[in-house]
Amino acid sequence: MDNRKIYRMLVASPFLLLLLLIVYCFYTGRGQHRKPTHEELDQALLRYMQSKYAIYEDTFTIDQPGDEVWASSDIFYSSTNKYELKLDTKKYIKRRSDEKVVVRYDYEKGMLYDNYMSFVIRDEVEQNFKEVFDRVYSSESYELVMIVPNTPWEKENFKVTTTAEEYLDNMLENNIHVCVARNSRHIDQDLDNLLGQLKERSLAVDANIYYMTQEQLRAIKQKTIWADEYWSSYQDRVWIDLGKKDEDYYIRSVYSND
């Protein structure tokens, strides 16, 4: 059986796509080992994602061709032995314009990682955090968004059936951005209240909170993707970094937008 027939058999069944990726190093062409092209990998990964998450009845499209992931810390930009493809989701609305579904293939481990469940569970995760922030701010005075991780990791490679509770229990940090119409003089008191609530619920965060005027918040809320708009429209920015189970350690910093 020639290589073209083998390839057609593999891609014909979504459940064999993972096998295609794991054994790609042994994919032969006229008796010689060769890697599949980026286009072949992209189509295999696309079909894999469509099959894996079929239960959510979503449609994925390739945002840009995939490529090797390079180690930027290395002066020679050596390969990390990972391949990454970015996809768009039709079902889930972006909170930021640069949000993408990302799938990575680890050549060495023969494993696939993706961040799709962050899109699926985001509304529930945000609701958990809103229950905390509602105890500090008036619910009408702020907007909150969870930023989807742009890099999928092995420890955060969630199952299709993962619940919001399981997600929050396993995430080392949740990237949360909040815009609140509130006077900056309340920052210290607000942070004490927030940190107490977050620790009580064991919620890990890497959060940016933007204190602004009512007019600034109103203008931001009118934007289609409002999380792109707050970089300059605020008075003070608060950064909180509270890791999982870091009961006695956290970072809190305040930056004025002068």
The secondary structure of 87-151, three-state, reads EEECCCCCCCCCCCEEEEEECCCCEEEECHHHHHHHHHHHHHHHHHHCCCCCHHHEEEEECCCCC
Give the Cα separation of 232 and 216 in Å (integer): 10
The two tokens of residue 19 are 């096998």
pLDDT at 38: 85
DSSP letters for 182-222: --GGGHHHHHHHHHHHHHHTT--EEEEEEEE-HHHHHHHHT
pLDDT at 155 over 90: no
Give the Cα separation of 32 and 205 in Å (integer): 50
User: In DSSP terms, which residues pair with 106 in a beta bridge?
Assistant: 82, 111
Q: Report the range of poorest mean pLDDT among 22-31, 75-84, 88-97, 113-122.
A: 22-31
pLDDT at 74: 54
CA angle 21, 25, 28 (to 5 degrees): 105
Dmax (CA) for the chain in angstroms is 74
pLDDT at 248: 57
pLDDT at 14: 45
Q: Which helix (H) or strand (E) holds 46?
A: helix 38-52
pLDDT at 18: 54
pLDDT at 40: 85
CA angle 22, 46, 109 (to 5 degrees): 25
Q: Report the range of poorest mean pLDDT among 155-159, 181-185, 203-207, 232-236.
A: 155-159
Per-residue pLDDT reduced to its tens digit, 203-254: 999 999 999 999 999 988 888 777 777 667 899 999 998 887 666 567 788 8
List the strands of the sheet with 111-114, edge to edge. 60-70, 79-89, 101-106, 111-114
The tokens 């529930």 sit on which residue?
124
Of residues 248 and 169, the one with the higher pLDDT is 169
pLDDT at 256 over 70: yes
Q: What are phi and psi of 207, to 5 degrees?
A: -115, 140
Of residues 125 and 252, the one with the higher pLDDT is 125
What is the pLDDT confidence band of residue 3, given thresholds at 50, 70 and 90?
Answer: very low
Per-residue pLDDT reduced to its tens digit, 48-106: 999 999 999 999 999 989 988 877 665 555 667 889 999 999 999 988 888 999 999 88
How confident is the model over 152-161, as a mean pLDDT?
Answer: 83
Q: What are phi and psi of 91, to 5 degrees?
A: -80, -40
**What three-state secondary structure class fits 163?**
coil
Q: What residues have CB less than 8 Å from 195, skipping those under 6 apart?
A: 240, 242, 250, 252
Contact 171, 204 (CB under 8 A): yes
Of residues 22 and 93, the one with the higher pLDDT is 93
pLDDT at 26: 44
